[in-house]
Structure 1
Amino acid sequence: MDKQQLHDCHNRIKPFIHNTPVLTSRLIDKISGAHLFFKCENFQRMGAFKMRGAANAIMQLTDKEKQNGVVTHSSGNFAQALSLSAQSLGVKAYIVMPSSAPNVKKEAVKGYGGMLIECEPNLKAREFASQQIVQKHGATFIHPSNDDQVILGQGTACKELLEAHPELDHVVTPVGGGGLIAGTALSALYYGKNCTTIGGEPMEVDDAFRSLKSGKIESNTTTNTIADGLKTQLGDRNFPIIQEHVEEIIRVEEEEIVSAMQIIWGRLKIVCEPSSAVALAAVLKAKEKFAGKKVGIIISGGNVDLGNLPF
């Protein structure tokens, strides 16, 4: 995926997305010892960066494919993103969600016009339900993170950040399915000036950290983390990009995620979800690495269940 493709993708999706604000905080800079620039994708349409990739993926379909609709499986944010993107583009969206997904996310999918199909909370059940819809309706399956068009779309958040702040030394993102960090790494490569991409990942679901070490895609045996958006694993489209262009992945403990989330809520005065706080938690964990550096942080989303906060 080259610079021209990223450029074209951004121009294509601009009518359907927000160029989200970048916030700074002298107090958080003091706490971290670095100069931090928070790209606030919690202010994106539907509340997360995933709107970018979803819009791009649908826009790249043929007219015939658009007529038959799209399908995905997701625990939350991509479900909402595909629903809203499809609604904006006049396309039908079938959304497979695990029964354990937060109610607030299920209701949002319905509110955005998505056809909700619930399944057992495991990957096998999700994939089976998705395949049934593909066979029955001829819908095109769009993966939340392991799809070239999705990866390009997610990369546009970092592209906007670097266009506003070209001097960044690092950009840090949370790592779940790998779409955001892969897209970010491409943008850092094409639009940064010696800007490296670093991931933050919960210790409880450290499959990406282990995958970089072993050279093959690893899985998690447990998913015991408050960062519910980061329980998915890397795919064969994004993993090679991550291997080549991501400098490292920093693992954080659950209490470090909660602490970072409190700092964002308390100091930036914005709502972010636990998954988003993982990037700041990584910077605070590795202070010596980031000391004095200019660091972009992608606040990936703000879709929180307000009745179930970790603090």
Structure 2
Amino acid sequence: MKNKLIGALCAVLALPSAAMAARSLQADLFGNAYLPVLQVSSDQAQVVYYRLSVPGEKFGAANIYIDEEFHTGLLPGGYTVFCLAPGSHGLNAVMEDAPAYAGKRDQPKLELEAGKTQFLRVGENGEHEPLAISREQAEQELANNLRQAHVLSRASAVQSCKHVQQSQERSYSLSSDVLFGFGKAGYEDIREDGRREIGNLVRRLQKENVRIDSVEVVGHTDRIGRDAANEALGLRRAQTVRQLLIDNGFASASITARSAGGRMPVTQDCRGDRKALIACYASDRRVVIHLNGMSDQ
């Protein structure tokens, strides 16, 4: 009996260590959260390849091949960014092709344009060909993705990206479901993940060393509820994110906040009961940060 009690106690004491090991493994697999990529130089083409779902789910990797060479294994919720010479390249993602790795020898060709960024999504239903996604849709889906970081690319065609910094406008869309709980909008309601997203954005801009003339924060809601209530909710969320930007060093005079309510949805054909509609409308609930007049300092 005594030995059983000691064994049970040891098992309980080992649980924190197991949890710490899992977190350590997660840190080894993934890097930074996704932030919108910069424009690439005119002698390169840029690719953002990603998988849907939540980081850490227990699914196999999708092996990404570039011109018949292994680049990385994308796990659910992961993404990779790389640059290639413009022109025709073999690009695909193959699930469960070990140990023969035959997928890299049967690649579709993709034409990559100079100075452009192509967003590609891994098909989760056995498709080998990449799914070309618009930038707007891709960056909505990439809102919670993390950079795949557990292997080094062995694809010789991959180049270090040369980004162009220009005077421009740029927008960053943040999921309201990451920032707030459903129906919440106050400063005290911001989730830890939401604070982290804002901090990552500010650090990215600081690293790029750009000057920003003005910032507009726009709160978007779904279509559930009355229009007036959604208008007010969108504004409160925009004002809260505005304050968080100020807390992270933005000049208050340069930031405005407004609401778009539910007038600019990105979803279509949502049906069902309230629970189903809340899930379907998730992409509509967002806060968009418009940065105007960006240029090198």
Question: TM over 0.5, yes or no?
Answer: no
Give the number of the structure whose residues are more often strand, by fraction. 2
Does 1 or 2 have the higher relative contact order (CA < 8 Å, sep 6+)? 1
Shorter chain as denominator, the TM-score bin is under 0.3
TM-score by length of 2: 0.26
TM-score by length of 1: 0.26
Bigger-Rg structure (1/2): 2
Give the number of the structure whose residues are more often helix, by fraction. 1
